[in-house]
Structure 1
């Protein structure tokens, strides 16, 4: 059973990683993952035995301040100053006043100096020291609090009092601004993805009552005011308005809605007062499915995240070991090289080792990488593309071969009358429309749309639909046949067979062949643009369809696709994908109606406009909310941008730390620079990760 918990008050991304590893040790739990950016804990509790409090007890072995809540609990976020903030401020004021008086007023006694230094250090670094000891009691030695405590206390022992206090102060200030940046980043992304309506105005006995959207049932009547979100899916029964559906479908142009028009939950009512008849309860509505899609499937880490997780596991211990060697072993060898005493060399290399300890926490990497993917997923959702996880977002830009279903994906799936071949074109269209008037087949509906005249149902009798062939009916006391060539052959009607590659509907009236109608499946507006973009970017493109070869090749030719698989059943499509996967990373894009096996087989399964199909959502790695393929271009672009930012952050963080480590070992770096390489770079990496949301296009 998959469960999602809210987790709060984790000090850093590296601490989240340690908590995650500790929870993984529990028997019966699978797929444990903590998303530091979203403040969520995901577990697959197969025995349904774990709860929030049990997890909290385990987490507090690593981080004593952590709180874990059930997903449904209301959490009051605290962003006010804490006792630690006031303590740091007091320590800062104390050391500042001391330094000013010591410089300009009078010199203090040395023992007073030391007392003031210790008090200032205790006030500024009190929280860090307390956490260090608590974590040590739980066996967490390689903890950033412990390492910072050792580094600064070490500086005290070698007489660098001011530097020790300043390093702790700047560490605390850096942590404060880093937390501030992360919280603002979280809130910004949440606001972009916050689709859930909070209130509904329900009519009860002609009175309006404010209720939760979860309390609405089918056939309830609600009022939606300007500036409010549609709470559930429904139909307008009075009023007219303009809706902003950009958060649902990615369509930026506002849409006019009036009576009898359907409205989607989560859409913003811009300017009209409308009364809506509820058609779906909240849990079946569009907005709930979007939220569930994102919430329940976002714990699959990208390969880059997995690499950083493995890297962080070994980075800190290795740096600490090197620091130990630098402090105790290198001075021994330097005594031979410089012909000096060990006591002379030891303080020099101890200070350099302390710089190593300050840089030993990999927070900049562990924090910025998942936050970048989180921002990328947020950006994609605003474009109308729901992506299950960072791993799936990463895949978009790595796919080498895109395989499209035809009907409903590249074409609208709605037939249109393209040509009519007959002596009297209006008459044959009228006959065909009357014959098809009792059918709900897509071909019948397209002919009726083309006719647009009145249907005289009294003149029709003996209606018979022949499966796979067409319609037999009596019209004005004469036999009327409308269907494919097999229908006319069965009825022994002589006719000239059309060589057209599209769908051909033949018409015979009063036992005589009178002509035929050509139907075409209309291309979607952005299909050609999407295919051109992929081919231009050296991607392989194929089309797979259940349609006959002639129709498939006609559509492919119009789109510029050369690789076509026609007359394919669902199992045949799956076999095609399995074959293509052996050569290239392959994505399948379908309408999700009957493509679930194929979506699951591909490296990346993308369904279009399929949020109404639970099976398609479960099988898909991503869902394009509207029916236009062009959103695939945006998804690829966002994926590439996210990867670019992730790589830049890795180079920035790892490169800076590596350079400062070398400078520290050679004696060219001080602790202030080390603090910048730790907290300062983390802050820069977080800000850079958030640039994903603001960048419109990858250059």
Structure 2
């Protein structure tokens, strides 16, 4: 049974008790409640004119405002061959109550069921709105520069390449490139990060950021529909389609559960009748046993499970989004709770990835000429090391040479032809494979070494250093606190460098000199190890195969990183490795809430079902128990949205 369905039968009615397209009419339950209370008072005071016939008409009038919509839903579902729904249960129970003269109970079943549904729907709607408001924070208007002046338009009308101005305190409506020399932004809506972020001219700014301190001019680089925030919002909404195992179980369970309780209700009525025929001493009263069967039907409604379990996962996805963590589905939110092993990439994941050149040594050629060659082969690469070399060369006012041919050697470096000479730029492993002799001391350097060879002869090298992210040590400590003790560091960097970083981080197992295929082999071996549930945390760019191999792939997505969003199951938007522990904690909290809902709903219903079958619960008690359990489960589900991350 679905928590929400749509009628396709042409009957012109809604078939979903959580339908978003139309709001329930509050006046109808109010009218029904007034008539019910008035009828009870008239019945209790013994008014002479309140005859049995008048009483029937009176309670029918109280029943119809709330009963007809539910019976209409049951009819729609039946036309779609779905006969065993909560609408059917309520309809049968109320009609049965009318048939044995229990008019107030018949009205109460429908009235409190309707009120309970309205409250549940409102809670679900609030959860959905909270998530949408949390993410879709773009302003409705913006100032765009056209024909020599700024005009106020909808962001949807702004094209890539146009300039917009955003005043202090205003939210940026579109992705773009900052035109100011420097500006500060509040990025909490996108990343959950409370500290302001300082960006410089040429850096990308994203929709949803808040401008701090001064007005800024931005050159738009993406249309409204393609902004990072639009993609994030779509990702969170699409996540609801990927169901967790518990959600799938509840769906299957509901399909068998509802027919089963209908059969049991019939047995409650018929088995005692057969016993009365076989044992004359047993006094069978049809009215009493039918009443017990109706109570059984009312309390058996599975709304609490059908609504609250998916809502629990949706709430978990929303809470994670507020913390700057994107789960691509409830299935990944569930999978991350089982993680007991985490493997980290180093560069850009636990380190800043912003390398700085600390030393340049040329051999046989002038230093500026060596730097020009390095700039030529690295200037088009997005790798952090290449970008560091480019920054260093530009500070020295070095110009690139013309390249006639170039080939990238994955995990090794670059091969190029410059000025008729064969140039190799890469790591020590590349030089050894090509038989190029290099100074022995380079192998002992605890730093990243980029070597250049011209015509198969060593021509010089650069030393570069990277730094740990501010929360890298905290990230490892938090994981250990959560019970994740098997933490590993995998990197293509030199073994000595990787081991040095691992020691500073408190990671026991570190592996260096790894090519992409070596990383994949490590993860494959870990995944196949019995009892291991493995998460790999990488930058989402060159780690796609490893992210796919792990049980849960977590990408340091950065702001607006398309590659990370594409390749990973979970995306950390602000690149903070400590958010890995936060993601696991949110997943575990969500799992706890979902289990509480399942155990609580089944436990309470089981007790009341048994009590109803034995005649200890009235229809009033049954409907209050059903509505109460459903509401408690729903409110329990949405409380994770209020959890401080």
TM bucket, shorter chain:
0.7 to 0.9
Q: Find the aligned partners of 1:491 and 1:104 in 2 and give their Cα distance.
A: 107
SS of residue matched to 2:630? helix
Q: 1:643-670: per-residue Cα shift (whole Å, max 9, x none)? A: 1111111111111111110111111111
SS of residue matched to 2:150? strand
User: 1:577: how far off?
Assistant: 1.7
User: What count of residue pairs does the alignment treat as equivalent?
Assistant: 613
Q: Is the 8 A contact 1:605 1:620 kept in 2?
A: yes
Aligned with 1:500 (options 445, 460, 472)? 445
Q: What does residue 545 of structure 1 align with?
A: 491
SS of residue matched to 2:144? strand
User: 1:517: how far off?
Assistant: 7.6
Pair 1:469–1:307, CA change in 2 (3 A): closer
Judge which range, 518-527 or 658-667, deviates more.
518-527
Residue pairs, 1:521-600, within 5 angstroms: 521-536=466-481, 537-583=483-529, 584-600=532-548
Q: Is the 8 A contact 1:239 1:275 kept in 2?
A: no
SS of residue matched to 2:355? strand
Q: Find the aligned partners of 2:401 and 2:125 in 1 and give their Cα distance.
A: 71
Residue pairs, 1:445-456, within 5 angstroms: 455=396
User: 1:603: how far off?
Assistant: 1.2
Judge which range, 112-121 or 304-313, deviates more.
112-121
Q: Is the 8 A contact 2:557 2:564 kept in 1?
A: no
User: 1:259: how far off?
Assistant: 5.2
Q: What does residue 568 of structure 2 align with?
A: 620
Q: 1:336-394: per-residue Cα shift (whole Å, max 9, x none)? A: 6681343x2x2222111101111232111010111111111111111111110001111
User: 1:590: how far off?
Assistant: 0.9
Pair 1:168–1:219, CA change in 2 (3 A): closer
Question: Given the alignment of the two structures, is residue 315 of structure 1 paired with residue 257 of structure 2, yes or no?
Answer: yes
Question: Given the alignment of the two structures, is residue 400 of structure 1 paired with residue 348 of structure 2, yes or no?
Answer: no
RMSD (Å), alpha carbons? 4.1
Q: Is the 8 A contact 2:339 2:484 kept in 1?
A: no
Pair 1:484–1:259, CA change in 2 (3 A): closer
Pair 1:90–1:490, CA change in 2 (3 A): closer
Q: Find the aligned partners of 1:421 and 1:132 in 2 and give their Cα distance.
A: 78
Residue pairs, 1:598-637, within 5 angstroms: 598-609=546-557, 612-637=560-585
Q: What does residue 93 of structure 2 align with?
A: 151
Q: Is the 8 A contact 1:433 1:444 kept in 2?
A: no
Residue pairs, 1:283-294, within 5 angstroms: 283-294=225-236
User: 1:691: how far off?
Assistant: 0.8
Q: Is the 8 A contact 2:31 2:65 kept in 1?
A: yes
Q: Is the 8 A contact 1:241 1:272 kept in 2?
A: yes
Q: What does residue 371 of structure 1 align with?
A: 311
Structure 1 runs not aligned, ≥5 long: 1-13, 20-54, 68-74, 474-481, 508-512
Pair 1:323–1:414, CA change in 2 (3 A): same
SS of residue matched to 2:8? helix
SS of residue matched to 2:444? coil
Q: Find the aligned partners of 1:214 and 1:563 in 2 and give their Cα distance.
A: 50
What's the TM-score once normalised by structure 2's chain length? 0.83
Q: Find the aligned partners of 2:77 and 2:450 in 1 and give their Cα distance.
A: 78
Question: Given the alignment of the two structures, is residue 682 of structure 1 paired with residue 630 of structure 2, yes or no?
Answer: yes
Q: Is the 8 A contact 1:193 1:378 kept in 2?
A: no
Q: 1:39-83: per-residue Cα shift (whole Å, max 9, x none)? A: xxxxxxxxxxxxxxxx8525x67x93159xxxxxxx99654x63x
Aligned with 2:355 (options 415, 418, 432)? 415
SS of residue matched to 1:329? helix
Q: Find the aligned partners of 1:558 and 1:200 in 2 and give their Cα distance.
A: 47
Q: Find the aligned partners of 1:455 and 1:236 in 2 and give their Cα distance.
A: 25
Judge which range, 662-671 or 142-151, deviates more.
142-151
User: 1:196: how far off?
Assistant: 4.5
SS of residue matched to 1:222? strand
Aligned with 1:330 (options 243, 255, 272)? 272
Q: Is the 8 A contact 2:343 2:489 kept in 1?
A: yes
Q: What does residue 178 of structure 2 align with?
A: 236
Q: Is the 8 A contact 2:341 2:484 kept in 1?
A: no
Q: Find the aligned partners of 1:538 and 1:366 in 2 and give their Cα distance.
A: 33
User: 1:398: how far off?
Assistant: 0.9
